[in-house]
Structure 1
Amino acid sequence: MKRNDDWLWAILRVTLAILVAAHGWARLLHDAVAPFGAWLDGQGLMAGAAIAWAVTGYEIVASVLLAAGRYVFPVCLGFAAIYLVGLVLVHLPEGWFVVGLGRNGMEYSVLLVCTLLCVGVHYRKGGTSA
């Protein structure tokens, strides 16, 4: 018996869109783009301010595309790349746990990257867009 679980994938896709949009909107609305850029510069990346604005803009614009089910595979790959870099630069050095036995660890980032990749591959392989 074939299951029609397209609505489950749509719920997951929209939930991811909301989660990643929150990153960009929070950074923009709380004037945190410039400090993010300065932090990136401090990590040895060139053009930290430009990267910070690009990431923030991507999180805001691409989350709308993701929620709408447009260009899901490349959008998810872009998000996964961004959050993999964040995982390595920020969360990996802090260990595994976000709370409890640690602080600011990588467990949420790993789940986010894995889920983004699963959703992206699902839609690339012919999952419906809405």
Structure 2
Amino acid sequence: MHELLATLETRRQFGWMVLRFALAGLIAAHGWTRLLIGGVVPFGDWLTEQGFPLGFAIAAGITFVEIVGTVLLAARRFVVPLTLVFSCIYAMGILLVHMQAGWFVVGHGRNGMEYSVLLIVCLLCVGFQELKPRSERLSARNGS
């Protein structure tokens, strides 16, 4: 553990890893719970009622991404696209459900958007941190 905390860079990497794992665990809980309690069909029906075509397919896709994508996120694979996809999912949750309930999840309100906003901010920070400089992306694309 001493080596892990020895330098600023190792502490930084450890901190981002802890945040990435925490996000993966929290998001996986959404997908696994929905799957295990039989919530995919009701979620899909609700999406259809909201006017989305193929509500079940969207609900199944979100559940799949919340289960498989979190494993990839924890493994530090496809971090940037996954953080963007998760952020979009939770932004839509804010627009469709949480915004009308206000800010607070508990306490001064119920089912508000504060938790979703925190998830989005953390996801975007993790994704931004993993984004490679343009010069590295170009050289990787050119094979140099």
What are the equivalent positions in structure 2 for 1:1-40 lying under 5 Å apart? 3-4=8-9, 5-40=12-47
Matched positions, count:
125
Aligned position for 1:53 = 60
Q: Give the gaps of 5 or more residues in structure 1.
A: none
In structure 2, what is the Cα distance between the partners aligned to 1:100 and 1:125? Answer: 40
In structure 1, what is the Cα distance between the partners aligned to 2:115 and 2:92? Answer: 14
CA RMSD of aligned residues (A): 1.1
AA matched with 1:54: G
Select the structure of larger CA radius of gyration.
2
Aligned position for 1:74 = 81
- The structural deviation recorded for 1:125 is 3.5
Q: Which one has more relative contact order, counting CA pairs under 8 Å at least 6 apart? A: 1
TM-score, with length taken from structure 1: 0.93
- The structural deviation recorded for 1:63 is 0.2
AA matched with 2:70: S
AA matched with 1:50: A
AA matched with 1:38: D
- Which consecutive aligned stretches of 4+ in structure 1 deviate over 3 angstroms post-superposition? none
AA matched with 1:16: L
Q: Give the gaps of 5 or more residues in structure 2.
A: 1-6, 134-144
